[in-house]
Chain A
Amino acid sequence: MTTLPQSTEKKLGLVIDLDTCVGCHACVISCKEWNTSNYGAPLSDMDAYGAEPVGTFLNRVHTFEVKQENKPAQVTHFPKSCLHCEDAPCVTVCPTGASYKRVEDGIVLVNESDCIGCGLCAWSCPYGAREMDAAEGVMKKCTLCVDRIYNENIPEEDRVPSCVRTCPAGARHFGDFADPESNVSILTAERGGMELMPEQGTKPVNRYLPPRPKTDIEQIDILAPLLTRQPEETGGFLGWLDRTLEKL
C-alpha cells in the first residue's frame, strides 16, 4: 500500500550531531558493507577500478563551509541518509506499492521484488536519499538497518544501525522519536535538533544537531607562550656580570 499510515506506533530514526562529526566517512563504508551483504539486492559499483567509478550508497557525507562576512570560515561535515519522513512523498508517488512506510516503527522501505525501477520515488525525495541500483534496476535506500535492530542472532550491543555502531566520534544516535524520554528525543530537545528543508513539507523524522558557531569563539592561541622569544644568554665575563647584577 502506498498510502501513508495515519500514524505509526514508533518513530524510529537518527539524530546526527553536526558538531561532533569529523567527516571520516566511516559510516558511509560501514553502511555500504552491511547493506551490500544483507537485506535486498547488493549495492553495486560500476567501473569500480576504471576511470569513472560510480556506485550505489545509502549514506553519503558532504562537507560544507559556512562563512559570515569578515569572519573566518567554519567547516561542517554533513552525513545524509533517508530521514524516514512522516509525510514521505516517495511513498505516495510509487505506482506499485513497492515503496512503503511501516505502521509499527515508521521505517520507509522498498519491496524490491515489486519495484519496477521507474525512479519516481527518487525524483520526489527532496533530500536525494534514494538511488537506483544500476546493476539490479531497483530502488535502494537506507533501511535504518531493519535487519540489525531487531536481529536476535547478533549481540545486543550490535542491534543498532551499522552507521551508528561504527561512528568513532559518536555523532550518530538511534532511537524512537515517539517516546519523549528516548535518547534521541532528549538530544533533540536539549540541542535544538533541526529538520532539513521543512518548507518541503515532508516532516522528516531524523534530526540534525546544529554545530556551535565556532567563528564567534574568542581565539586562544595555545602555542603563544612557548613561542615568545627569550633574550639570548651571553657568555664570558660580561655574561657573568649581567647575571650577577640581575640577582642583586
Chain B
Amino acid sequence: MHPAPSVIIFTALSGLGFGMMVFLGLGFLDVSGWVAFVFVAVAYALSGGGLLSSLFHLGHPERFVKALRQWRSSWLSREGILSIVTMAVFGIYAVMWIFTDVRNPALGSLAAALAVVTIYSTSMIYAQMKSVPRWHSPMTSVLYLLYGFAGGALLTAQVTLAGWLMLALAVVQVVTWVQGDGAFAKTGSDMGTATGLGFLGKVRLLEKPHSGTNYLMSEMIHVIGRKHIMKLRIIALTLGSLIPAVLLLALPSGHVLGLVVIMIHLVGLFAQRWLFFAEAEHVVGLYYGQR
C-alpha cells in the first residue's frame, strides 16, 4: 500500500494523543493548574493534529461531516464519531481539572475508556481489510493499542510503566512481523485464483491493461522502497521500543532524558508506520503480476 504521509501522521499522532488521554483520564500524573494545562494541550494537539492530517487524504475534505453517518457498518465512521466524543468528554474532565483542580474519576475513566476504543477503531480501519492479508489480523489492533499505551505513558511521564510497555511493544512488534510475513500465502490467493485460470497451469502476466500506471497501481502496489525493509524494521524496533525501554528502565529519570526518549520513540514510530503501509501487499497486485 502507498505510504501516504497524511495517513502515517494521522495514525501515529492520534494514537499518541488518545494514549495520553488514557493515562490522564485514569488519574496518572500528579500535577495541576498550568502544568496540567500543558499536558492537556499536548494531548489535544496530537489527537486533533492527527485527525486534521487525515483530512488531507480525502478527495473532498469539505464533506467530512457526512463520514459520521455510517457507524452501523463502517469503522472509519465509528472512528470519526468516537474521536469527537472522546475529545468532548476528556475536554470536560480537563477543564474541571485545570480550573477547579478536581479530577472527577467517573468522567476521567469514561474518557480513558473512550480513548481506548478510539484507538481500537483506528486499528480496525486496517484490520478489517481482507484484501490486505498482512493487516487482516487481531495483531494489528494489539499493535496499535500498545503503541498508543506505550507512547501515552511516555508522554505523561510514567517512566517505569512506559519502560515495561515499550518492552511488551517490542515483543508484539516482532510477533506481528513474523505472522504478517506468512499472511499472504495463508489466504490461498494467487494469480491462479485471481484469474480462475489456475486449472490450466502456471499463470503469468503477459501484458498489462495499459502502458502507463493507474490509480490502483500507485495506491495499492507499492514496490519501491521494499528493498530497505530489513534496515527499516531494525530502525523501527530499536528506536521505536527497545532503546526507549532500556533508557527508561535502566537510567535515572529526568526531564532531559524524557525528551530524548520521546524523540527517539517518535523516529521509530514513524519508521514503523511507514513500514505498516509500504510492507502491506494488496491482493489486487496479483492482476498485475506484482505484490
Please tell me if the beta carbons of A78 and B195 are within 8 angstroms of each other in the complex: yes
Assess the A96–B201 pair: CB atoms within 8 A. Answer: no
Q: How far apart sit A114 and B63, CA to CA, in the bound complex (Å)?
A: 7
A124 CB to closest chain B CB (Å) equals 6
B134 at the interface (CB under 8 A from A): no
Point out the residue from A18, A28, A55, A118 that lies within 8 Å of B67, measured CB to CB.
A118
Q: Which residue of B lies closest to A207 (CB)?
A: B196
Q: How far is the CA of A66 from the CA of B195 in the complex (A)?
A: 10
- Give which listed residue, A56, A71, A126, contacts B284 with CB less than 8 A: A126
Nearest-CB residue, chain A, relative to B62: A116
- Contact call B287/A95, Cβ cutoff below 8 A: no
Proximity string of chain B (133-165) to chain A, C-beta cutoff 8 Å, 1 when within and 0 when not: 000000000000000000000000000000000
CA distance A68 to B192 in the complex (A): 13
A196 contact from B57, B60, B69, B195, Cβ within 8 A = B195
Which residues of chain B are near A95, meaning CB under 8 Å?
A: 66-70, 74, 76-77, 80
Q: Given A71-B201, A128-B220, A201-B130, is A116 in contact with B214 using a C-beta cutoff of 8 Å?
A: no
Q: Tell whether, in the assembled complex, residue B131 and residue A138 are in contact, meaning their CB atoms are under 8 Å apart.
A: no
Q: Does A106 contact B (CB under 8 A)?
A: no
Q: Residues of A contacting B129 with CB < 8 Å? A: 89, 123-124
CA A47 – CA B76 in complex, angstroms?
33
Give the Cβ gap from A176 to chain B, nearest Cβ, in Å: 22
B216 at the interface (CB under 8 A from A): yes
Tell me the nearest residue of chain B to A212, going by C-beta. B200
Find chain B residues with CB under 8 A from A208 CB: 196
Please, which residues of chain A bring their CB within 8 A of the CB of B197?
18, 64, 66, 76, 78, 210-211
A64 adjacent to B131 (CB under 8 Å): no
Q: Which residue of B lies closest to A198 (CB)?
A: B193
Distance of A134 Cα from B200 Cα, bound (Å): 38
Q: Which residues of chain B are within 8 angstroms of A138 by Cβ–Cβ distance? A: 59-60
The answer to whether A68 and B201 touch (CB under 8 A), given A97-B69, A196-B196, A197-B189, is yes
> Which residues of chain A come closer than 8 Å to B208, judged between CB atoms?
62
Q: Tell me the smallest distance from the CB of A177 to a CB of chain B, in Å.
A: 17
- Report A-chain residues with C-beta under 8 Å of the C-beta of B189: 126, 197, 199-200
Judge whether A94 and B70 touch: CB under 8 Å. Answer: yes
Q: How far is the CA of A200 from the CA of B136 in the complex (A)?
A: 12
B131 to A125, Cβ gap below 8 A?
Answer: yes
A123 and B1 within 8 A (CB): yes
Bound-state Cα–Cα, A116 to B189, Å: 31
Contact A117 B131 (CB under 8 A): no
The verdict on B96 contacting chain A, using a C-beta distance below 8 Å, is no
Name which of B59, B130, B193 has the most chain A CB atoms within 10 A of its CB. B59
Pairs of residues from A and B, 9 with the lowest C-beta to C-beta distance, nearest first: A117-B59, A137-B59, A60-B209, A128-B284, A95-B77, A68-B201, A194-B196, A95-B67, A63-B207
Known: A94-B73, A124-B131. 20 other contacts (CB 8 A): A1-B70, A2-B74, A62-B208, A62-B287, A64-B191, A89-B130, A89-B131, A93-B75, A95-B74, A95-B76, A118-B67, A124-B129, A126-B283, A128-B220, A132-B219, A137-B58, A138-B60, A194-B196, A200-B189, A200-B283
**Residues of A bordering B, CB below 8 Å:** 1-3, 18, 28, 52-57, 60-69, 71, 74-76, 78, 80, 89, 91-98, 114-120, 122-128, 131-132, 134, 136-138, 194-201, 208, 210-211, 213, 215
Q: Can you report 22 A-B residue pairs in the complex whose CB atoms are below 8 A from each other?
A: A1-B70, A2-B72, A28-B209, A53-B212, A54-B215, A60-B210, A62-B207, A62-B209, A64-B195, A93-B75, A93-B76, A93-B128, A118-B59, A119-B219, A122-B220, A136-B59, A137-B60, A196-B194, A197-B283, A210-B196, A210-B199, A211-B200
